[in-house]
Amino acid sequence: MDPSPSVILSDICQRFDWPALFGNQNPVELDLGAGDGGFALAYAKQHPQINLLAVERLLGRVRKIEKRATRFKLGNVRVLRLEFGYTVRYLLPPGSVSIAHIMFPDPWPKRRHWPRRLMQPEFVRDLAVVLKPGGELRFTTDHAHYFETAQQAVTDAAVLRREPEWDWSNDPKTDFQQTFDAEGRATYRARWVKAV
């Protein structure tokens, strides 16, 4: 029987051992703020040669991902119910992640809430630590102002290099993207790479 997709932490200070978690040495990608997991599950199915860790804090969403990963027998998906900033800073092994996907993170549109946005220089520095040399951050948002401040955060962090967008034409749509596309909203994307 396939192992459960849920990551149960036995020690909140112990960094993951990816081969132990996934049972293989395949490249690891992250979906940070995975929502209902529409992207994570379809992407993992599309890319059986990678391992995907979905990180999401809402229990109901995590349960949906667990159920569907089990039902679809996706052995390369794991889901962690935890705060993504903590996860990146304290639980992921340095130099170990191939691609971090951040898609439609909460935009916190009110000025007084901007400090709550995930994309801050400190977070970008933490993320750069866990990326492999040549590893990527792929960022997508529907929110123009968040897109501007996210780009500025990466510039200020000064640890990743901007590269042209990835070829996203075959990427599965996230749950939020399907909604936003139906509303005709614009989507902004950026890709940054850690130096080799």
Ligand X SMILES: C[S@@+](CC[C@H](N)C(=O)[O-])C[C@H]1O[C@@H](n2cnc3c(N)ncnc32)[C@H](O)[C@@H]1O
Footprint of ligand X (CB under 6 A): 33-35, 55-58, 61, 83-85, 103-106, 174-177
Q: Record the tokens describing residue 5, joined without a space.
A: 């997709």
Minimum CB separation of residue 133 from ligand X in Å reads 26
Of 2, 17, 106, 156, the active-site residue reads 106
Residues 6+ apart with CB under 8 A from 51: 18, 21, 22, 24, 26, 27, 28, 29, 76, 77, 78
Minimum CB separation of residue 175 from ligand X in Å reads 4
Nearer Cβ to ligand X (43/176): 176
106 is catalytic: yes
Nearer Cβ to ligand X (25/169): 169
DSSP state of 15: P
Minimum CB separation of residue 70 from ligand X in Å reads 20
- The per-residue DSSP string of 84-102 comes to HHHIIIIISPTT-EEEEEE
Nearer Cβ to ligand X (60/133): 60
* Residues annotated as part of the active site: 106
